[in-house]
């Protein structure tokens, strides 16, 4: 028996209830799960960067450039899961050549191009322009040539030019905040507007996606900031880490409250789909929803951050040394990433696990190899970190790496 038929036969053996033949095979797999997870990290990291530039939160200033580069690295990789899922990625250019304004999916190409070219790249260029000019004057060899090319020939670093750079960067950041909402909110909009699917059809889905994106982005930058400080042999800026943990806790509480509100609303409506959804939660999604998303990914880090973070108390509810507090921050952030990925899994995969007749449950069997397999998805989830490593080498975001004008002897 062919491997594909063997796999289909094993899936059909685990199907429960009445299911139409064309519903046995799920159309969206792990790659589609990875896509909203990556875009959420982009939006969350950029929103964190806006706290310093727009809202003047000085404590998080050490993470400003790191947040921008993180958003750029993940944004570069974000469309790759969809391109791999298409099977013919060269056809993606059709959305630009023959745009369809009535398709939310087709409009993603324009949202992506706007956010990449107009928002992220421009803001990073304005913020780094002075350093690029000075690096091109002080360095030698390939690094000097590369940084000189990145200046785009704009070598003026007079006080007036630098003031313009700052104002332009701040203006772009203000535009970028609603753009970040649009980038990830439209993903929730796509799912929430599917009225025929009771698991997806909810007006709160786009809002839940936005706040979960903020949670995942802040948690990622927190881990990167602390790990990069240790790798460089620098002392971790605890006021910055404490402030990041505070914002992470606030966003986590709001996100969990919205998800709980959405769940209560579904129970109150008590439509004909509530029975099959309850069966799906306690059978197919018990591990990913109850254990990973709610307990490990939400309640446990929320409790840990509440106890040790100075978000609600000047020194934290429980007095712990700074070293242990840093470890708790990292552990909580990692648990949150697991929970957010589980959230994306539960939305994408969970919405396909019950039949259209609401009388049967399917099963999703994840492959290991191939474009839709585990290893391909794992590669795409690790690829942004490789891109980020390259960006950090070319555009170091650390305060001690900033270039300074050489004073005459």
pLDDT in tens, 126-159: 989 998 888 888 888 888 899 899 888 888 888 8
- Give residue-wise pLDDT tens across range 182-218: 777 777 778 877 777 778 877 788 888 888 989 999 9
Work out the pLDDT band at 407, boundaries 50, 70, 90. very low
Q: Which residue has the higher pLDDT, 126 or 267?
A: 126
What pTM, to 2 d.p., does this model score?
A: 0.89
Tokens 């994306």 appear where?
344
Residue 358 scores a pLDDT above 80: no
Is-contact 373 61, C-beta < 8 A?
Answer: no
pLDDT at 14: 67
d(CA 295, CA 119): 36
**SS3 labels along 339-368:** HHHHHHHHHHCHHHCECCCCCEECCCCCCC
Please give the angle made by the CA atoms of 173, 41 and 401, to the nearest 5 degrees: 60
Work out the pLDDT band at 408, boundaries 50, 70, 90. very low
- Give residue-wise pLDDT tens across range 96-116: 777 777 777 777 778 878 887
Torsion sign (Cα): 288, 293, 296, 297: positive
43 vs 12, 144, 185, 200, 282, CA distance in Å?
Answer: 39, 32, 9, 21, 32
Give me the long-range contacts of 97-106 (CB less than 8 A, separation at least 24).
104/186, 104/189, 104/190, 104/193, 105/190
User: Rounded mean pLDDT of the chain?
Assistant: 83
Report the chain's C-alpha Rg in angstroms.
23
pLDDT at 404: 60
pLDDT at 399: 76
Helix residue spans in 232-289 (DSSP H) = 238-269, 274-283
Residue 79 scores a pLDDT above 80: yes
d(CA 41, CA 37): 7
Work out the pLDDT band at 283, boundaries 50, 70, 90. confident
In percent, how much of the chain has pLDDT > 90? 24
pLDDT at 10: 56
Q: Is 87 left (phi over 0), alpha (psi -120 to 50) or beta?
A: left
d(CA 181, CA 13): 42
Tokens of 7: 């796999």
pLDDT at 311: 62
| Most confident segment among 20-29, 208-217, 393-402 | 208-217
pLDDT (mean) for 297-314: 82
d(CA 170, CA 164): 10
């Amino acid at each position: 028996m062919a491997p594909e038929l063997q796999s289909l036969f094993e899936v059909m053996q685990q199907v429960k209830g009445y299911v139409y033949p064309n519903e046995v095979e799920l159309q969206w797999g792990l790659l589609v799960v990875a896509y909203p997870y990556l875009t959420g990290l982009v939006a969350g990291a950029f929103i964190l960067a806006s706290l310093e530039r727009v809202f003047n939160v000085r404590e998080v200033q050490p993470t400003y450039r790191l947040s921008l580069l993180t958003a750029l690295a993940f944004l570069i990789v974000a469309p790759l899961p969809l391109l791999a899922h298409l099977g013919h990625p060269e056809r993606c250019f059709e959305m630009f050549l023959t745009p369809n304004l009535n398709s939310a999916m087709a409009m993603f190409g324009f949202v992506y191009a706007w956010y990449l070219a107009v928002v992220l790249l421009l803001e990073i260029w304005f913020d780094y322009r002075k350093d690029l000019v000075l690096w091109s004057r002080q360095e030698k060899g390939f690094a000097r040539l590369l940084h000189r090319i990145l200046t785009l020939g704009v070598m003026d670093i007079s006080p007036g030019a630098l003031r313009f750079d700052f104002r332009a960067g701040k203006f772009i950041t203000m535009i970028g905040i609603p753009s970040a909402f649009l980038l990830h909110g439209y993903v929730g909009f796509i799912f929430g507007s599917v009225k025929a699917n009771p698991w997806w059809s909810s007006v709160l889905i786009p809002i839940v996606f936005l706040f979960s994106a903020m949670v995942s982005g802040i948690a990622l930058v927190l881990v990167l900031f602390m790990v990069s400080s240790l790798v460089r042999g620098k002392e971790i800026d605890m006021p910055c880490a404490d402030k990041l943990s505070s914002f992470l806790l606030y966003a986590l509480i709001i996100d969990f409250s919205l998800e709980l509100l959405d769940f209560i609303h579904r129970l109150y409506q008590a439509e004909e789909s509530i029975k099959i959804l309850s069966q799906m939660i306690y059978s197919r999604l018990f591990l990913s929803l109850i254990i990973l998303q709610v307990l490990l990914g939400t309640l446990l880090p929320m409790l840990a951050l509440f106890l040790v973070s100075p978000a609600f108390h000047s020194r934290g509810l429980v007095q712990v040394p700074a070293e242990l507090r840093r470890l708790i921050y990292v552990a909580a952030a990692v648990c949150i990433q697991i929970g957010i990925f589980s959230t994306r899994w539960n939305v994408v995969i969970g919405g396909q696990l019950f039949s259209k007749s609401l009388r049967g449950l399917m099963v999703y069997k994840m492959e290991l190899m191939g474009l839709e397999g585990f290893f391909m998805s794992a590669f795409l989830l690790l690829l942004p970190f490789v891109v980020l490593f390259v960006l950090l080498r070319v555009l170091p975001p650390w305060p001690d790496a900033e270039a300074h004008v050489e004073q005459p002897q």
